Amino acid sequence: MGRLDGKVAIITGAARGIGAATAGIFAREGARVVVTDIAREAGEETAAQIRAQGGDAIFLPVDVTDFASVQTMVEEAQKTYGRIDVLVNNAGVLRDHSLVKMTLEEFDFVINVNLKGVFHCTKAVVPIMIAQGSGVILNASSVVALYGNYGQTNYVASKAGVIGMTKVWARELGPKGIRVNAVAPGFIRTEMTANLPEKVVEMVINRTPLRTWGEPEDIAYAYLYLASDEARFVNGAVLSVDGGVVL
């Protein structure tokens, strides 16, 4: 028996990194997984790997900044599996610069993907969950949303906004049987962080009490717990998974 047996989960940004790890772990725990991403080839590959390991997964392309694209994806997912039990709003981007150097386009792009994208996907999925009388929404925030970070005005604003929306939705949707929570990862070894200068990596590791990076699976297992019935009384929470970096 898997912890997500009978559940259908949509995971955005699931072509690589944390999203792909989450899709794989959810499938191993019995979920039917909708892998969604703007990167079609990598997304198809993630879904194919899950199927090759005996899991049930499909890939659907989506641009989370475009509500029509999101609606189409959600309709296709429901048509395929008949229900939607879990939405993991994982898609995210970085465009780091100090405030003085940050362009208007860089600010808008990050807000549109990381904040507006979460709004779009949740808005499209929630009517289905309300009709079912149950559901789980999980949002990707970040440790920097809680404490700020140099050069990340746009990213921090988007991830802090995600926490705010999480708490509003937990209040609004809880009475309808829908739980809404956020995960705040610390520094995780993904493509997004692969290009950090060695000096920055060293500084981060030295600041982390566990003296190591996190891996995508560390976040995926946090999502697994929150998606499962074990977390049935967890609502409106922000779970930090960061090795203690903010202590």
Kindly list the catalytic residues. 155
Tokens representing residue 111 in the block: 């807000």
Q: How far is CA 26 from CA 53, 79, 127, in A?
A: 12, 20, 23
Residues 139 and 161: beta-carbon distance below 8 Å: no
Token pair, residue 222, equals 């946090």
133: three-class secondary structure by DSSP: coil
CA dist 30 and 219 (Å) reads 18
Alpha-carbon gap, residue 152 to 202, rounded angstroms: 19
Measured CA to CA in angstroms, residue 181 lies from 53, 65, 233, 236 at distances of 29, 21, 11, 5
Identify residue 19 by its one-letter amino acid code. Answer: G
Q: Which two tokens stand for residue 132?
A: 């079912």
How far apart CA 141 and CA 77 sit, in angstroms, is 24
Q: If you write DSSP's letter for every residue of 105-121 in order, what string do you get?
A: HHHHHHHIIIIIHHHHH
d(CA 169, CA 167): 5
Q: What is the CA radius of gyration of the chain?
A: 17
